[in-house]
Amino acid sequence: MYRAPVAEISFALKNVAGMSAALSNGELGDLSEDLVDAVLEEAGRFASEEIAPLNTGADQIGAKYENAVVTTAPGFKETYKAWIEGGWNAIAGPEEFGGQDLPYMMAAAVGEMWNSGSMAFGLCPLLTTGAVEALDMHGSDELKSMFLEKLVSGEWTGTMNLTEPQAGSDLSALKTRAEPAGDGTYRVFGQKIFITFGEHDMADNICHLVLARLPDAPAGTRGISLFLVPKFLVEEDGSLGSRNDAFCQSIEHKLGIHGSPTCVMIYGDGFNGNEPGAVAYLIGEENRGLNCMFTMMNNARLNVAVQGVAIGEAAYQHALAYAHERRQGKSAAYLGEGMSPIIEHPGIQRDLLTMKSMVQASRGICYSLAHAMDMAEAKEGDEAKLWSERAGLLTPIAKSVATDMGCDVASMGVQIHGGMGFIEETGAAQYMRDGRINPIYEGTNGIQSIDLVTRKLPLSGGEAVKAYIGELRDVVVAVRGENHNAFGNAADALDTALDAVDEATNWMLGQLENGGMQAALAGASPYMRLFGLAAGGCYLAKAGLADDTRQRAGLARYYAENLLAECAALSKTVTEGAESLLLAREQLNLA
Ligand SMILES: Cc1cc2nc3c(=O)[nH]c(=O)nc-3n(C[C@H](O)[C@H](O)[C@H](O)COP(=O)(O)OP(=O)(O)OC[C@H]3O[C@@H](n4cnc5c(N)ncnc54)[C@H](O)[C@@H]3O)c2cc1C
């Protein structure tokens, strides 16, 4: 069973993501290293002892639907209650509404642990956190005072309602409509699909953040507004009032995360017996809803990226334990009696080291994104802009690379189990199934790669990405300056990988400038992978530099000398692959 790697997480936060420096510069308020460790320790205990034991039941029994009511998996309700009573939901919430206002780095670190314990469980607070941020940043004072305290504490939960059958990646096709009711409130009508924790029994109220169109709104994404639609209306004294016209019609049968109800939501169909129309409150300005929702989505993208790390970590631990236990064959290096544990075989060691290094590389990327978000808040003026651009650049990279690596790691975990990996009872397959959603939701990884290439590379005329690559180069310089040989040829491998990133980046910027958009988009996904692989190698090296035991330098070396060779090939795919793709597309029965 999963054991939270508290020491590793603490090390990554402090030495890789930059938390120690931020603490000593006073950029993280009253937080101290001791407090960080105390919080991580307790979160690790809760995740390992309270949440992880729910994971198998969440998968095998899952959430159940009957007559618009959703009953969550065994233990979810009780554990969620204990979890919010422990103050965990409030960790990053605004202080004014009872939150602890801790940095994104802390939220990411504890979020990793909840999601390693059970991704289905971790999803509910993931959505609530996004709702809190969007409401806090864009909501009126009245709305905030009505909803924020309970959302911050977790007594009420939040959802995010974007997707409709005809509007997935492309929200311009959205049809759900909202009408002003004449009293400052609105009525919402429409269907949303795939709504995570849209209905459940863990909280007294659910606050749906719903994208909808007002009458006469401009077409496309410029005509979308954001509304808060509570499951139960809230009276002036804060008590719960009548049931709103917002109901769950069904929940999806799906590949994984069975403990997380994925709901079809119907708004305004008169299900509550009253006149049809779900009572709704506008968040932010009319027709500016997508901007407000982006606050929620950016937060959620970091948190989904962290889910990739979480699944990878749990799958790695599971496979490592099995590889020590299972005996087959006799490795030449094995001196014991009889068959050796499979971990003695070099091929299994390769798989496990690849898994471990990928998890730590993606953790480094995610926590560094959280650090950039913290710095963007802590700084002002030009410095804040620099950090905000860094966060913008790292968001699609973290979301894609960490979630793809999570899937790769979970799949390798199944392979290490042999036939038993394919048998559900071992639990290895669950990680693979659960983690497979991560590259899909919160903007598919394909959409993330388009975001990286078309919106993030051009930031500050290309200077933001160049500055970042420059910082990664500084890590390599530091590796070269080490007077021990634990890094082996890692510096050369890292430099070659960064040369590949430079080459592909310059090519991309050239395409964007010279009307080569189709060619740029054709290379966007391999470019994303290339960037993430190389950046991950630098974060591993950073960990190696900070580690007196040299263990982490050894892992950084393994990754650099074994995984980074792919970077040069990826750069070639990006810069030379577009022409053949644009010709071969004829074979896809296109008109
Ligand atoms: C379990 C689960 C939970 C979810 N939770 C929520 C939730 O809480 N709230 C919510 O609103 N939604 C939720 N979603 C929906 C999710 O965010 C969408 O499924 C996702 O954004 C993709 O949209 P789609 O399924 O319509 O795929 P499509 O948009 O139809 O995409 C299909 C494929 O085409 C690609 N593609 C699409 N457009 C382009 C383009 N312009 N260029 C290149 N490639 C493109 C995509 O990358 C993808 O590979 C959830 C989905 C699932 C399965």
Enter the tokens of residue 409. 């790691």
Neighbours of 159 (CB within 10 A): 26
Does residue 263 form part of some domain? no
Residue 362 lies in a domain: no
Supply 382's token pair: 């030009």
Integer Cα distance of 160 and 158 in angstroms: 7
pLDDT at 134: 93
Q: Which atom of ligand 1 lies at the shortest distance from residue 192's CA?
A: 11
Phi, psi angle pair for 549, to nearest 5°:
-75, -15
Residue with tokens 């968040």: 283
According to DSSP, the β-strands at 262-267 and 186-196 are: antiparallel
For the full predicted model, state whether its pTM sits above 0.85. yes
* Contact in structure between 343 and 473 (CB atoms under 8 Å): no
Q: How far does residue 444's CA lie from ligand 1's centre (Å)? A: 6
DSSP three-state, residue 195:
strand
How far apart are alpha carbons 240 and 3 in whole angstroms?
A: 39
**Whose C-alpha lies nearest to ligand 1, atom 24?**
168
Distance 303 CA to ligand 1 centre (A): 17
Contact 205, 230 (CB under 8 A): yes
DSSP, residue by residue, 286-328: TT-HHHHHHHHHHHHHHHHHHHHHHHHHHHHHHHHHHHHH-B-
Q: Which of 442, 463, 566, 576 is catalytic?
A: 442
Ligand 1 binding pocket mutation candidate from 440, 452, 525, 581 (most atoms within 8 A of CB): 440
Which residues, in sequence order, are CB contacts of 23 under 8 Å at separation 6+?
Answer: 14, 31, 32, 33, 36
| Residue nearest atom 51 in ligand 1 by C-alpha distance | 194
Measured between alpha carbons, how far is 58 from 79 in angstroms, rounded to an integer?
12
User: What pLDDT is recorded for position 512?
Assistant: 96
As for how many domains the chain has, the answer is: 1
Instruction: Please report the atom of ligand 1 found closest to the CA of residue 444.
Output: 47
**How many A from CA of 446 to the centre of ligand 1?**
10
Q: Is the residue at 453 inside a domain?
A: yes
CA of 223 to the centre of ligand 1 (A): 20
Per-residue pLDDT reduced to its tens digit, 85-107 = 999 999 989 999 999 999 999 99
Q: Which of 59, 166, 169, 195 to mutate to test the pocket of ligand 1 (most atoms within 8 A of CB)?
A: 169
Would residue 543 count as lying in a domain? yes
**Residue 167 CA: which ligand 1 atom is closest?**
26
Residue nearest to atom 27 of ligand 1 (CA): 168
Helix (H) or strand (E) holding 250: strand 246-251
Residue 323 Cα distances to 168, 339, 349, 389, 427, angstroms: 41, 13, 9, 43, 14
Burial of 424 (0-12, 13-18, 19+ CB in 10 A): middle
Ligand 1: atom nearest CA of 168 is 26
In this structure, is residue 455 part of a structural domain?
yes
What is the structure's pLDDT at 296?
A: 77
- Asked if the structure places residue 292 within a domain, the reply is no
State the CATH number of the domain containing residue 579.
1.20.120
Q: Which residue has the tokens 């036939």?
A: 419
From 51, 120, 126, select the one nearest 260 (Cα to Cα): 120
297 C-alpha to center of ligand 1: Å?
A: 13
Cβ–Cβ under 8 Å, residues 260 and 124: yes
What is the greatest pairwise CA distance in the chain? 82
CB neighbours of 194 closer than 8 A, spacing ≥ 6? 163, 252, 262, 263, 264, 441
d(CA 33, CA 342): 39
> What local confidence, expressed as pLDDT, does residue 407 receive?
98
Give the angle subtended at the CA of 163 by the CAs of 157 and 168, to the nearest 5°.
145
Domain that holds residue 485: 444-591
Indicate whether 92 belongs to any domain: no
**Residue whose CB lies within 8 A of the most ligand 1 atoms, among 303, 444, 451, 585, for a mutation test:** 444
Give the Å distance between the CA of 477 and the centre of ligand 1: 41
Residues 496-539 have pLDDT tens digits of 999 999 999 999 999 999 999 999 999 999 999 999 999 999 99
Pocket of ligand 1 (CB under 6 A): 160-163, 168-169, 194-196, 254, 262, 437, 440-441, 443-444, 446-447, 450
Spatial distance between the Cα atoms of 521 and 516, rounded to a whole number of angstroms = 9
Q: For residue 356, is it within any domain?
A: no
Distance 211 CA to ligand 1 centre (A): 15
Distance separating alpha carbons of residues 60 and 56, to the nearest angstrom: 6
- Nearest atom (ligand 1) to Cα of 161: 11
Atom of ligand 1 nearest to the CA of 254: 1
442 an active-site residue? yes
Stretches where the chain sits below pLDDT 70 are none
Q: Quick one: how far is CA 128 from the chain centroid?
A: 14
